Structure 1
């Protein structure tokens, strides 16, 4: 499931069939009549994070922090009170995408940034210390693209399992803009639901385009690399994508594994692996 909060890519095993456009105006993958908004995006800056060979070059952590800034990794082994015995982001390579990053999760051993709680986290992010080109300020349009592969053996929490998020950084801590006019949370709106098996065991290309404004926009397309088949196509030309109250506030992306442990019986005890490659963050302009 992909839901609005700003936006979380929350993939849930409870979706037994594809329900395209549930809670939003996402198009069916068979409907190719709408011109893609991605084609009208004019990039003015671009930042890329890619892995090098698994046995050469810098460590995965050094590669990530060299681009996103020191402190951009929220892996369990980065916190002295967490699972420090294992490196949680490593490098690998295959014949489809070449060098890439592998994010690891351990049901029993991993905590949430050093705190044992009802959830666990292994994520990378851009944040206030990251370069300006990696943060979305009010009125800006950005594209985020990456490659993604996940095994069908990975067990998902029935509460939440997040692999990508757009998160609002509000320095005033005013969360009033996180609610609809009737008082319900904006997180109650699901943009699309899809069959879990349609995206597993395949390398995927994912592109997100967002305009960060009160009347902003959000577009997302997920396609299978092997045959370019479009599996998810979300088109939201008018959508509240801003919670800021000052010029310092911004929206930032996060990637990795962030999942609930509240229903731990639904999760496997084996190590889980999620693969990412070729993160690209761009700022630019889009046609009205």
Structure 2
């Protein structure tokens, strides 16, 4: 597997070529970036061709957009989400009768940077996991079985995903996981022959690290091996938490779903249009399918472990998202 990680510091460009192999959760190739530069490194916008280091030309087939229309204006947040991803695409606690039903968990807000956006809310002691009391809690949106088929990634297909993201420096993390984005397989029948669909393939997560400080991590998982034993995550990148909090970020992902797949992931800070992270993985297994009906879908929100509850605040937490775009396309030389 070839791995490219690009770090921009001030006006300098450093390209590092390294392997992401190995089974350790503390990969030697993990990169911690702490870019506080204010120089303009481009506009951070993604064209139809993406901006991967070796990206082929991306030809769009169909594009879906999800935008907030503002608090107390137009449709509700849930109505806006349902009209794009379908009824059943929201996994918020208040939509489950045995969960935290007193509060809407996705609400709309407005600021001077991105305009209208969505806040995803979490409550440590009140929210469950889709109505089930467990060691984790979930407030997510997703593409799923009943979504438009062109939102679902089948074998050999290529998708681009982009969205704006902001998290507060006050949000507290645990040493387990707080996922803000997932690429996750959905199989009709699970089989250990191809990694099954239990573990997400790619995640963007916040994690508390006692030695190095809190981090925003990009993780990759091969799922289970052929004996059903869960393999260790591989860290594709780590960002210093303080370098991304209280800032609107533009995130771009391009994924080709194949056993010999391709992944591009970029994060750009909107304040100064500075690209603070760029990853490209070639020959990466992004497929967990056992037959032609199995697919990969995106998920956004906050899905976190609460097994270390003492590490988390009792206060209401929020994670902000804006301007979701999902595009199915084809690659051309």
TM over 0.5: yes
Question: 1:193-212, aligned counterparts within 5 Å?
Answer: 193-212=238-257
**1:1-16 map, 5 Å:** none
Shift of 1:27: 8.4
In structure 2, the CA distance between the partners of 1:86 and 1:175, relative to structure 1 (3 Å rule), is: farther
Residue of structure 1 aligned with 2:326, choices 266, 278, 281: 281
Which shows bigger deviation, 174-183 or 192-201? Answer: 174-183
Runs of 4+ in 1 over 4 A off after TM superposition: 19-22, 24-30, 180-184
Please list every run of 5 or more consecutive structure 2 residues that lacks an aligned counterpart in the other structure.
1-15, 22-28, 36-40, 42-50, 196-223
Partner of 1:137: 154
2: distance between equivalents of 1:159 and 1:89? Answer: 24
Q: Distance in 2 between matches of 1:182 and 1:22?
A: 25
Structure whose residues are more often strand by fraction: 2
Partner of 2:284: 239
- Preserved contact between residue 93 and residue 139 of structure 2 (Cα < 8 Å): yes
Which has the higher relative contact order, 1 or 2, with Cα contacts under 8 A spaced 6 or more apart?
A: 1
Please say which of residues 192-201 and 128-137 is displaced more in the overlay.
192-201
- Following superposition, the deviation at residue 73 of structure 1 comes to 0.4
Change (3 A) 1:23 1:62: same
Equivalent position SS for 2:327: strand
Q: Confirm or deny: 8 A CA contact 1:28 1:233 kept in the other structure.
A: no
* Aligned 8 A contact 1:216 1:239 in 2: yes
Q: Which range moves more in the overlay, 185-194 or 71-80?
A: 185-194
Does the Cα contact within 8 Å between 2:30 and 2:238 map onto a contact in 1? no
Distance 1:184 1:115, change over 3 A: closer
Distance (whole Å) between structure 1 residues aligned to residue 262 and residue 96 of structure 2: 36
Query: What's the CA shift for 1:185?
Result: 3.6
Separation (CA, whole Å) in 2 of partners of 1:135 and 1:92: 29
Aligned to 1:41: 58
Q: What TM-score, normalized to structure 1?
A: 0.86
Matched, 1:112 2:129: yes
Residue from 294, 301, 304 that aligns with 1:256 = 301
After superposition, give the CA deviation of every residue in 1:30-56 in whole Å (9 maximum; x if it has no partner): 9x9x96356732212100011102121
1:156-209 per-position Cα deviation (integer Å, ceiling 9, x unaligned): 121111000001001012243223579764442111112111111100000000
Mapping of residues 174-213 of structure 1, within 5 Å:
174-178=191-195, 179-180=224-225, 185-213=230-258
Give yes or no for contact 1:214–1:240 (8 Å, CA) kept in 2: yes
